[in-house]
Amino acid sequence: MTILFYIAAIIAIISTIMVITRTNVIHALLYMVVSLLATAVMFFLIGAPFIAALEIMIYAGAITVLFVFVVMMLNLGEEAVKQEKQWLSFSGWIFPAFLSLILLLEVIFIISSSGSVPISGKVIDPKLVGQSLFTTYLIGVELSAILLLAGIIGAYHLARRKKKVVHRFLELEGAEE
Amino acid sequence: MEPILKLFTDLLPGLSQLPYWLLATLAALIAALVLFGFIAVFALFAIWLERKISAHMQDRLGPMEVGGWHGWAQTIADTLKLLMKEDIIPEKADRILFKLAPMIVFSVSIASFVVLPWSRDFIPADLNVGLLYILSISSLAVIGILMGGWASNNKWSLYGAMRSVAQIVSYEIPISLSLITVILITGTLSMQGIVQSQQGNFLSWNIFHYFPFMFVAFVIYFIASLAEVNRTPFDLPEAESELVAGFHTEYSGMRFAFFFLAEYANMFIVSAIAATAFLGGWLPPFSFLDFIPGPFWFFGKALFLVFVQMWLRWTLPRLRVDQLMYTSWKVLTPFSFVLILIVSFWQLLTL
């Protein structure tokens, strides 16, 4: 179990690095899918199959697909790749990398000082997830529902089209499609 | 994994001395090969069936020559032809993605077979999130389709892929919502658990539960699953009169055959999910028919739904793009939300 976990973790890290370094946007996004899949495998291994399935469905299956969709529509060519290469210059990434390194050291220090817990392999079934969502985390669920409602209303408002067709003979007002 | 491992160690007792990881890998490889064989044979049969059905619906005979009896070997001959065709990759294509796309689409449909319950004892892996697993795995096929469409560097491929993805992503919502009604009734996501909660004769199947609401849920699932596997009347991604052949325009030979295999495997998978969730899976319609083994009923129900898919294909004309989106967002999705409300209220009242 532990070996499988580390394999998945290494794949996740490598593919995430590839997401950052690829100059072709589509390739970068596909590496992101791999990274999300590896994360899902990790969730599966530590006994959270429900979260793993949701991770694949929502992140890999829906959100990344929307990204890929938009990027493909933009039809980025050689120009975009050149620009990406320019942005990936040494002087561009050295300072952020240095700051992240400090954070990484801090994280390593915290993890190593708190001691590690072995993977128990105990599976948390969906029923338990549902129970804790609707008791302990009820406020969170309701707040996110309100947020989603706001999102739906916003999307509806943006997508609604009120067009005024002016014609010599007929006038259509507020025609919706 | 355990049922398969048990099957292997029962057949060959010597195997149980191997270390667990080696045994598991071996068993998984062999199971995958068997599965591949099953999918290939099923696709050969289904393509032949589709030709015959389309022919008989149009008052023709269909393939009659190859193999003797009603041209049963026609698809085998076609497969050999596909195998021997030249493998063409367009010069401006993104070669790696172009080669990867059919593999991803096909492996995704193989992966869905993991949680299909064939009988009381035989299910490759009875995950406790079985239904959710299938939904999540099948949403990955979208990425393969997009890769294939984009990597071909062809406008028709790209537009076909986009239509396909827009369609699959929007029809995933009614599919998931109509399956939620099933989960509300059975109270479990495990495929085996869903089947076992429908014990009894055919009136206790989920489709007749809370009549007629679950029947409506079944119809919604079935319509949405047609769109999910790009079948007529929702085959806009492959609309040959406008898009040549959709996302696999540039594919030839074996790579094209893999897209085709995946399509027929997906037809079987969505029918098998419908059979499990609504039609009692491997349960017989009457309890005195118990002596016939489960796989027969499971396969028979799934095959019947596959037949209905073909029947619809040769009966209905293709929808327009706006009608397609209208059906998903303004008809199926609200109706399945209403069904969820009704089913949960009914359950609350009859507690």
How far, CA to CA in Å, does B29 sit from each of B24, B213, B262, B348? 9, 42, 19, 46
Name the band, by pLDDT with cuts 50, 70 and 90, for residue A177.
Answer: very low
According to DSSP H, which parts of A75-137 are helical?
78-87, 90-114, 126-134
**Cα–Cα distance measured from residue B95 to residue A104, given in angstroms and rounded to the nearest whole number:** 37
Instruction: State the pTM of this model.
Output: 0.85
Does A133 share its domain with A57? no
Does A116 share its domain with A163? no
According to DSSP H, which parts of B140-186 are helical?
141-151, 155-186
Mean pLDDT, all residues of chain B:
83
> Is B11 inside a domain boundary?
no
* Burial B198-235, CB ≥16 within 10 A → b, else e: beeeeeebbbbbbeebbebbbbbbbbbbbbbbbbbbbb
HSE-CB of A132 using CA atoms within 13 angstroms? 5
**Cα–Cα distance measured from residue B246 to residue B149, given in angstroms and rounded to the nearest whole number:** 8
Name the band, by pLDDT with cuts 50, 70 and 90, for residue A167.
Answer: low
Q: How far is B173 from chain A (nearest CA, A)?
A: 11
Task: Provide the number of structural domains found in chain B.
Answer: 1
CB of B190 within 8 A of CB of B130? yes
Does A105 share its domain with A87? yes
Does A68 share its domain with A155? no
Does A50 share its domain with A8? yes
> Is B210 inside a domain boundary?
yes
Torsion angle of alpha carbons A85, A90, A96, A97, nearest 10°?
A: 110
Domain boundary among A123, A143, A161: A123
Range with lowest mean pLDDT among A150-164, B166-180, B232-246: B232-246
Q: Which residues, including other chains, have CB under 8 Å from residue B68's CB and lie 6 or more apart?
A: none
Give me the pLDDT at residue B39, please: 85
A168 is in which domain, residue-wise? 124-177
Residues of B with Cβ-Cβ distance to A77 under 8 angstroms: none
**Cα–Cα distance measured from residue B188 to residue B240, given in angstroms and rounded to the nearest whole number:** 42
Domain boundary among A123, A147, A166: A123
Name the band, by pLDDT with cuts 50, 70 and 90, for residue B313.
Answer: confident
Residues of B with Cβ-Cβ distance to A65 under 8 angstroms: 142-143, 146, 165, 169
> Is B237 inside a domain boundary?
yes
- Which residue has better confidence, B268 or B249? B268
> Measuring CA to CA, which residue among B232, B228, B225, B268 is closest to residue B45?
B268
Q: What is the CATH number of the domain that holds A56?
A: 1.20.120.1200
**Cα–Cα distance measured from residue A127 to residue A114, given in angstroms and rounded to the nearest whole number:** 31
> Is B43 inside a domain boundary?
no
Does A118 share its domain with A135? no
Name the band, by pLDDT with cuts 50, 70 and 90, for residue B79.
Answer: confident
Query: Which residue shows structure tokens 């355990």?
Result: B2
Task: Provide the number of structural domains found in chain A.
Answer: 2
Residues of B with Cβ-Cβ distance to A52 under 8 angstroms: 129
> Is B61 inside a domain boundary?
no
Q: Do A57 and B132 touch (CB under 8 A)?
A: yes
Domain boundary among A79, A102, A123: A123
CB of B230 within 8 A of CB of B164? yes
Phi, psi of A7 (to 5 degrees): -60, -50
Q: Which residues, including other chains, have CB under 8 Å from residue B206's CB and lie 6 or more apart?
A: B182, B185, B186, B194, B198, B214, B218, B277, B278, B279, B280
- Mean pLDDT of all residues in B41-46: 87
- Mean pLDDT of all residues in A125-149: 90
Does A113 share its domain with A130? no
B323 CB within 8 Å of a chain A CB:
no
> Is B316 inside a domain boundary?
yes
Does A110 share its domain with A160? no
Range with lowest mean pLDDT among A89-98, B43-52, B170-179: A89-98
Does A107 share its domain with A143? no
Phi, psi of B60 (to 5 degrees): -120, 180
The 3-state DSSP class for residue B230 equals coil
Does A58 share its domain with A44? yes
Q: Do B132 and A53 touch (CB under 8 A)?
A: yes
B194 is in which domain, residue-wise? 88-350
Predicted complex ipTM exceeds 0.90: no
CB of B180 within 8 A of CB of B144? no
Does A46 share its domain with A133? no
Does A14 share its domain with A76? yes
Q: Do A69 and B137 touch (CB under 8 A)?
A: no
> Is B58 inside a domain boundary?
no
Tokens of A144: 């996110």
**Cα–Cα distance measured from residue B145 to residue B240, given in angstroms and rounded to the nearest whole number:** 17
> Is B188 inside a domain boundary?
yes
